[in-house]
C-alpha cells in the first residue's frame, strides 16, 4: 500500500486544527483495522459431502375419452302371460278320532280316598290346634281377669280395714275418759253470781245441790253439760248449766296427748240472810 504524501500547508487556525486532528485519527484507525484484517487467518468451514439427488421424469398419459354408448333398442311392451288355472282338489275328510275313556282303576280310587282321608285328618288336626290355642288364650284371659278382680277386692279390703282402724282410733280418741275431780282442774271456772242466786232462791230454801255431767274435748273445751240430779228449781238448774258451759278445763293428757273426758260435778248453792 502506497503511503500518501502530505504537502506542506499553511498554519491553519485553531478550529481547523481540531478538525484535521480528528480526520487524521479516523484515517489512522482505518489503516490499523485494514492491517489487522489482512493478517487474520481465514476460517475454514467443514465440507459436507452429500450424494447428488437422482431425479426420474415420468411421462403422463393423457385421458382418453370413453367410446360413445351403443344405440339403445326400443322398449317393447311386456306381454303378461295368461294365468294358469289350478285345479282345486277336494280336501280329504278327516274322521274324528274317538278316544276311549279308560275305566278308573281300583288302585287310583284307593289312592284318592287315602289322600282325601289324609287331608281330612290334617284339617282336623289344624282345627283342634286352633281350638286348643283359643281355649288356652281364653283361660289365660280369664285367669288374668280373676287375678285383677281378686287384687281389686284385696285392695278394697285393705283400704276398708285401714278406714276401720282409723275410725276406731278416732272413736277411741274421741271417746271421753271418765275422770274424777282430782284428775282435772278448771282453767276458767263457772262464774255464779250471788246477786243472781238471790233472784232464783231464798235463804229459807237452804242448800240446793245440782249434780252435772260435764263433757270436754282434748283441749278442755266443754262440749256438753247434762243434769244428772236436779236441785228442784228448774230456773236455778238452767242458770248453773249456762254458767258451766261458758267455763273451761285444763287439757287432760294420756301419754302426752290430750284426750276428751267426762266428769261429774256437784254444785251446792245457798244464800244467807242479810
pLDDT per residue over 76-93, tens digit each?
656 565 556 555 566 666
Rounded CA separation 135/111 (Å)? 36
pLDDT-derived band at 98, boundaries 50, 70, 90: low
Rounded CA separation 134/128 (Å)? 10
240 or 60, which is more confident: 240
**8-12, 79-83, 191-195: which has the minimum mean pLDDT?**
8-12
Q: Looking at the predicted structure, is the pLDDT value of residue 192 above 70?
A: yes
Rounded CA separation 106/113 (Å)? 11
Question: What pLDDT is attached to residue 204?
Answer: 87
Task: Give the start-end residues of each E strand in the chain.
Answer: 177-179, 186-188, 208-216, 222-229, 248-249, 252-254, 257-259, 261-269
What's the mean pLDDT when you consider all of the chain? 80
Query: Mean of the pLDDT values across residues 225-233?
Result: 92
**47-61, 138-152, 169-183, 247-261: which has the minimum mean pLDDT?**
47-61
17: its cell numbers: 486544527
**19-28, 32-41, 199-208, 244-253: which has the minimum mean pLDDT?**
32-41
Contact 271/201 with Cβ under 8 angstroms?
yes
**To which H or E segment does residue 16 belong?**
helix 14-38
pLDDT per residue over 240-254, tens digit each?
999 999 999 999 998
Percent residues over pLDDT 70 in the chain: 70
Question: What pLDDT is attached to residue 265?
Answer: 92
Q: Looking at the predicted structure, is the pLDDT value of residue 9 above 50?
A: no
Question: What pLDDT is attached to residue 26?
Answer: 87
What residues contact residue 17 under an 8 Å CB cut-off, 6+ apart? none
Rounded CA separation 42/46 (Å)? 13
pLDDT per residue over 147-180, tens digit each?
999 999 999 999 999 999 998 888 877 788 899 8
pLDDT per residue over 101-129, tens digit each?
555 556 788 888 899 999 999 999 999 99
pLDDT-derived band at 224, boundaries 50, 70, 90: very high
> pTM of the prediction?
0.42
Amino acid at each position: 500500500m502506497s503511503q500518501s504524501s502530505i504537502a506542506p500547508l499553511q498554519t491553519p487556525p485553531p478550529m481547523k486544527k481540531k478538525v484535521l486532528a480528528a480526520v487524521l485519527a479516523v484515517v489512522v484507525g482505518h489503516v490499523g483495522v485494514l492491517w489487522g484484517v489482512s493478517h487474520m487467518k481465514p476460517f475454514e468451514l467443514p465440507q459436507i459431502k452429500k450424494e447428488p439427488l437422482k431425479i426420474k421424469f415420468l411421462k403422463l398419459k393423457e385421458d382418453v375419452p370413453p367410446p360413445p354408448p351403443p344405440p339403445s333398442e326400443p322398449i317393447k311392451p311386456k306381454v303378461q302371460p295368461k294365468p294358469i288355472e289350478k285345479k282345486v282338489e277336494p280336501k280329504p275328510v278327516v274322521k274324528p278320532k274317538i278316544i276311549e275313556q279308560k275305566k278308573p282303576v281300583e288302585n287310583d280310587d284307593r289312592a284318592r280316598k287315602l289322600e282325601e282321608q289324609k287331608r281330612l285328618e290334617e284339617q282336623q288336626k289344624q282345627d283342634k290346634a286352633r281350638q286348643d290355642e283359643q281355649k288356652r288364650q281364653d283361660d289365660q284371659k280369664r285367669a288374668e281377669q280373676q287375678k285383677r278382680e281378686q287384687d281389686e277386692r284385696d285392695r278394697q279390703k285393705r283400704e276398708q280395714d285401714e278406714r276401720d282402724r282409723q275410725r276406731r282410733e278416732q272413736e277411741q280418741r274421741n271417746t271421753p275418759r271418765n275422770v274424777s275431780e282430782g284428775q282435772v282442774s278448771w282453767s276458767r271456772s263457772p262464774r255464779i253470781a250471788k246477786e243472781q242466786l238471790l233472784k232464783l232462791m231464798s235463804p229459807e230454801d237452804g242448800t240446793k245441790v245440782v249434780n252435772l255431767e260435764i263433757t270436754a274435748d282434748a283441749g278442755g273445751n266443754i262440749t256438753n253439760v247434762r243434769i244428772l240430779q236436779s236441785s228442784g228449781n228448774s230456773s236455778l238448774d238452767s242458770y248453773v248449766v249456762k254458767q258451766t258451759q261458758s267455763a273451761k278445763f285444763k287439757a287432760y293428757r294420756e301419754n302426752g296427748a290430750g284426750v276428751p273426758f267426762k266428769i261429774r260435778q256437784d254444785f251446792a248453792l245457798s244464800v244467807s240472810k242479810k
